[in-house]
Structure 1
Amino acid sequence: MLQILKKTNIDFIGKRYYAFAISGILVIFGLAAFVAISLGKADLGIDFAGGTMLQGYFEKEVEIGELRAALSRNGYDDAFIQSLHRERPNYFLIRVKVTTDEEVTQISSDILSVLAKELPQSKFNMDSVDGIGPAVGKTLQRQARWAVLIALAGILLYIWIRFDFRFGVAATITTLHDVLLVLGILFILQKDITLLVVTALLTLAGYSLNDTVVLFDRIRENLKLFRKKGDFSSTINASINEVLSRTIITSLTTFAVVLTLFLVGGEVVHDFALALMIGIVVGTYSSMFVASPIIMEWERKSPKRFK
């Protein structure tokens, strides 16, 4: 089996309180992001906030400042404008939030009229238009929250059946930790929370669980073999070190694939790939510094449960 690390003897458990402190700070940002999303204060995509999004290109060069000023003069001060120059020259995304379902279909034609009037020197060719009403956006928000909760419940049940309840709780807390950390980092970076981002979070839940299951399986086997030869923390440390090379190789391979998607996949999947890259790093970290230390703390406070 390919190894990039020789036999290691890192004291992961001894550093667990530093990891808990770092994770605690980042989880606070994740919780803040969750509250902001629930209150509609975060940067939500039209999937959740409701609105109209146009994509298209100008036949002649137009600066983003000109475009923003043209829309602002006609009442669209809060329009979000993004240059998609990687798609093609003078290619823009224009997104406008709406407050009623009736506005969704009307706004796209209004914006086209504004661009024709304000920027007559360069025709705007629309490639696509998407619209979602506020009511549908709220429904999608609710469904996204339920999807995450159901995924967490499924993880708890799966690990409980495969290992036992304590491992299930540790895996569920670790997965929730990973989701909140990625959400918090995206919130700090002011990225839009869209259905694609939620898809990335659910994908990461499965990816993180895979690393955790491999580690838990090694811990369980080592507890059977070496429990009488060493203390509990030594057994967990040995287990983490044994799977460390495998974990790093898997993470680097997956990260390389997602990085390629991030670099050449285009604007549509840009945030999706970014969330996955952040999640791979977070998931690798949490399997070593969060999942196993939770079990260690459980053993320290209630040792009889692990006999």
Structure 2
Amino acid sequence: MARAGIALADWREQGRELDFGGHAIRYWTGGAAEAEPLLLIHGFPTASWDWHYLWRALGERYHLIACDMLGFGYSAKPRGHDYRLLEQADLQQALLRHLGIDQAVHVLAHDYGDSVAQELLARHHEGRIRLASCVFLNGGLFPETHRPVLVQRLLLSPLGPVLGRLFNRRKLAANFAKVFGPRTQPDDRELDDFWSLIAHNDGPAVMHRLIRYMPERRAQRERWVAAMQQGGVALRVIDGALDPISGAHMVARYRELIADADCVLLEGIGHYPQTEAPEQVLEHYLAFRQALEGSDAAATTA
């Protein structure tokens, strides 16, 4: 796959709007509506444009669905809101209902979105949604292996409201330089676009509230890990090995806790594999889906 994505201005124009509890949510669909649905869930602090290098290639095979979650990107960023991962999972389900999708859904998630996907997986086992598969890119699947960068820890401190408002493009660039691979750093244009998504609707003013996902992960750990251990839904981890937040050390823990762990480590890649190495992510995601389709076909003919 050539590294040709979608310009941010074009991406924004293609979005549509959903009302979620009185808040405007920007969402996107792509691919063939009759194909299997693939829900893409972005991470912190960016937005669904993170998937733009993969969007067209995945759309050749699947019905794509993505939104900027509440507090992110082009969606509403209400002040004083008690942002919760559980609410973001509610949002994903509301979007699927809005689109009339009631069949089993495949999920591809990253970072903060991994936690939302874990909640959806737990709900699958509770009979509240049907998942067909779930693939996690770099994210804090286990609180004990999550190594937040300094700015994340400070946002969670009493200084958080002040630090959020002081956050700017220069600080974003400095933090991304630490978590991207040394040879896959974002260029100035990408940094400008990432920053514009964060800054839209004065996003830095709510960053200290969004960061509360870290203690929420700890509170939900046992339920979410049990959901991954339960089986019945095909899982894969595709992980940038050099990520200091959730890299090879997180994958090692995943292999300890999840039976028959299906993991792919991308050498030389950091925290954002879908933008650093989209070709590799696509290759390993499609191989996962091909194997899954093969096992389903074998089960049908057995």
TM-score (norm 2): 0.23
| Max Rg structure | 1
Give the TM-score normalised by structure 1.
Answer: 0.23
Which is richer in helix?
1
